[in-house]
Amino acid sequence: MLRPKFNEIRLLKTGHHNGYWNMALDEVLMKSVSNNAADTPTLRLYGWFPTAVSIGYFQSMDQEIDVENCKNTGVDLVRRMTGGGAVLHESELTYSFITRKYPKNILESYKMICDPIIICLVNLGFNKVRFAPLNDVVVEGKKVSGNAQTRKDGILLQHGTILLNVDPEKMFTVLNVPKEKIRDKLIDNVKERVMGVNRTFDEVSAALEKAFCMKFADKVLVDNITTQEISDSHKLIKEKYGTYDWNWRR
């Protein structure tokens, strides 16, 4: 398997922002990596505020999400540019890793970028941490991290979450679940299959930064987003991630 090693990684700690901004900036950073002649990948660490639900590229907003309830409780709704399922973004650390050098095989590329997540979790003291294809990392069989990727013009973006805490009851207030009986069963199912790491955002952020560096690069360039990236993100919110056409396109 191709294991790219980079001279350095551009690290962005962009704090907590709303879902539209978070998704727009991820896409803008793909363009930045594309424009970077030195093949430097970008690692972005971030959170979500206010609480948001992102749906996968191929999902239907109205079919998957209780839109009315989300509106009433101030939960933002946004479509990702990546596939996969709906995610409640509340108590978690999110990362995105954007690179021009990656294995062309999709499974291998997921595995490669999930490796630092495994290292991070092991360093946080967890045992029996493993990659669960295609796109999860599990601890003792329970999902702790879900990931999704896209490839555009030779650039790969993978973003994913490490759950800090899990609130299955809240999760099912934002999803469309047909019957109360099924809801209880699904909540029990999530409690059995999913877990949070029960650490702070900053603790996990520091561990993940270290793990990515250990895996891929000799040094980390701690950076800020540029004024151009800020302005491009605002533009992309207006034209894409903040629009009904994009978020309700399926």
Does residue number 83 form part of the binding site for other proteins (CB under 8 A)?
A: yes
Q: Is 57 in the site for other proteins (CB under 8 A)?
A: yes
> Does 186 participate in binding other proteins (rule CB under 8 A)?
no
Between 50 and 85, CB nearer to other proteins: 85
Query: Are 60 and 250 a contacting pair, CB within 8 Å?
Result: yes
Part of the chain binding other proteins (CB under 8 A), chosen from 36-44, 78-86, 207-215, 225-233: 78-86
**Of 17 and 79, which CB lies nearer to other proteins in the complex structure?**
79
Determine which residue in the list 14, 54, 96, 135 makes contact with other proteins, applying CB under 8 A.
135
Q: Which is nearer to other proteins, 60 or 173 (CB)?
A: 60
For 84, what's the count of Cα atoms within 13 Å in the CB-facing half-sphere?
23
**Shortest Cβ distance from residue 8 to other proteins (Å)?**
28
Q: Which of residues 147-166 bind other proteins (CB under 8 A)?
A: 148, 150-151
- Check residue 59 for interaction with other proteins (CB under 8 A): yes
